[in-house]
Amino acid sequence: DTAVSQTPKYLVTQMGNDKSIKCEQNLGHDTMYWYKQDSKKFLKIMFSYNNKELIINETVPNRFSPKSPDKAHLNLHINSLELGDSAVYFCASSQSFGNTEAFFGQGTRLTVV
């Protein structure tokens, strides 16, 4: 069983469209994240949710809206997609106590054309 799973794995879409990426974790973790990895390979944190509540929003445009229906799911909706949104988006989860590591999903490669 995949611990952190995100769908879709690949997403090609036109500028201006709205798209969603889904993420689920079966590790029982209380914190989930979205990261963006751009063409320079830098992994930048976008959002962090703890028990369904937003705790980090790292100056991400309003077009990006995360939604956490429960602590095992964190979805990412993107409105009015732009060329610069093309990147790999990684979902991750961790336990907020115990200083344990974060586990990552396989990534969603988004290409905006």
Partner 1 sequence: RKEVEQDPGPFNVPEGATVAFNCTYSNSASQSFFWYRQDCRKEPKLLMSVYSSGNEDGRFTAQLNRASQYISLLIRDSKLSDSATYLCVVNITGNQFYFGTGTSLTVIP
**Which residues contact partner 1 (rule: CB under 8 A)?**
31, 33, 35, 40-45, 48, 50, 55-56, 90, 92, 94, 96-97, 99-107
Q: Give the C-alpha separation, 5 to 40, whole Å.
A: 24
The nearer residue to partner 1, 69 or 98, going by C-beta atoms, is 98
Exposed, middle or buried, 73 (CB in 10 Å: 0-12/13-18/19+)?
A: middle
In the complex, the smallest distance separating the C-beta of residue 16 from partner 1, rounded to whole angstroms, is 27
The nearer residue to partner 1, 1 or 40, going by C-beta atoms, is 40
In sequence order, the β-bridge partners of residue 54 are 49
The nearer residue to partner 1, 15 or 54, going by C-beta atoms, is 54
**Are the C-beta atoms of residues 28 and 14 closer than 8 Å to each other?**
no
The nearer residue to partner 1, 14 or 53, going by C-beta atoms, is 53
In the complex, the smallest distance separating the C-beta of residue 42 from partner 1, rounded to whole angstroms, is 5
Which 3 state secondary structure label does DSSP give 52?
coil
In the complex, the smallest distance separating the C-beta of residue 78 from partner 1, rounded to whole angstroms, is 20
Identity of the residue numbered 93: S
In the complex, the smallest distance separating the C-beta of residue 17 from partner 1, rounded to whole angstroms, is 24
Q: Give the C-alpha separation, 49 to 63, whole Å.
A: 18
